[in-house]
Amino acid sequence: MASSPTSIVTLRDAVVLVGGFPLLSGVNLDLEAGTLSVVTGANGAGKTSLLRLVGGLVSLSSGTGEVSGIDLATGDLRELRRRVGWLGHEGSFYDDLSAKENLVFAAKALSRPTSEIDGVLYRVGLTSRASMAAKHLSAGQRRRLGLAWILLRRPTLWLLDEPYASLDDEGRTFFDQLVGDVVRSGATVLVSAHDPLRSSNLHPRTLTLAGGLVVGDEG
């Protein structure tokens, strides 16, 4: 598979079928390490499926793909999942546990010191909600908790599915700043969104999906 030495994601004619229906119909894509890319498109265009494929959360039906050096067809997808951070739009944690308990579970699962948790909660602005059950957090606060979960993991590839949904202006600004910091630290970020990022200094590459294909590539 021909790919740039600095590519962290390489897809060639990637097809994902679920129940015989093509969610991705032959995607060709290269993502360089340490970059920010935004995937836009209408509902059902394949944005979430592309992110799930890159994260090893759905199998490649045909074509070829390599993410973080792991072949999507023959490689260890469990190892790939360990290397990515995922923020889904459905909620990303255990509703009956508090914000802090969710992070303690993640930290212990990763053998990370739990002493980092207070700092992460502070960074996402959830210190005052640390002991509140996740199900009682607002939609925006749940997004922030999802980001805290990823920050704790420090992955090299961030996959953020519709992160702007339910965020107010303050939340969007916070999110743009965080993504900027993450990209500057060398991580790769792939975001699905209906609208372009607001912040003018992020300069993301914008990919447009339609019918499971990349139909536009700018930046």
Partner 1 sequence: MIRIALLVAAKDLRIERRSRVLLWQVLPFGVMGLVLSGLALGPTHAGHSSAGPGLFYLVMLLVTLLMINRSQAIEGSRGTRASVATLGLDPAGVFLGKALALAVELWITGAVLLAGAVLVLHTALVGTLQALPSVVVILAALAAAGTLYGALSGGGQGPATLLPVLSLPGFAPLLIAGERSFSASLHGGAFWQWWVISLVALVAYLAMGILLYGVLEDS
Residue 25's DSSP bridge partners are 15
Distance CA 90, CA 111 (A): 26
Cα torsion through 178, 179, 183, 186, rounded to 10:
60
Distance CA 127, CA 88 (A): 22
Write down the least CB distance from residue 159 to partner 1, Å: 9
Beta strand 62-67 with 70-71 is antiparallel
Binding site for partner 1 (CB under 8 A): 52, 55, 57, 77-79, 81-82, 84-94, 96-97, 101, 105-106, 108-110, 133, 146, 149, 153, 155
Contact in structure between 30 and 9 (CB atoms under 8 Å):
yes
- Considering the complex, state which of residue 90 and residue 195 has its C-beta at the smaller distance from partner 1: 90
Write down the least CB distance from residue 74 to partner 1, Å: 15
Residue 29's DSSP bridge partners are 11
Distance CA 173, CA 177 (A): 6
- Considering the complex, state which of residue 85 and residue 212 has its C-beta at the smaller distance from partner 1: 85
- Considering the complex, state which of residue 2 and residue 109 has its C-beta at the smaller distance from partner 1: 109
Distance CA 203, CA 141 (A): 26
Write down the least CB distance from residue 109 to partner 1, Å: 5
- Considering the complex, state which of residue 26 and residue 88 has its C-beta at the smaller distance from partner 1: 88
Write down the least CB distance from residue 53 to partner 1, Å: 12
Beta strand 21-32 with 7-18 is antiparallel
- Considering the complex, state which of residue 163 and residue 206 has its C-beta at the smaller distance from partner 1: 163
- Considering the complex, state which of residue 149 and residue 164 has its C-beta at the smaller distance from partner 1: 149
Write down the least CB distance from residue 112 to partner 1, Å: 11
Write down the least CB distance from residue 162 to partner 1, Å: 11
Q: Which alpha helices (H) appear in 36-154, and where do they start and end?
A: 47-54, 77-83, 99-109, 117-123, 139-153
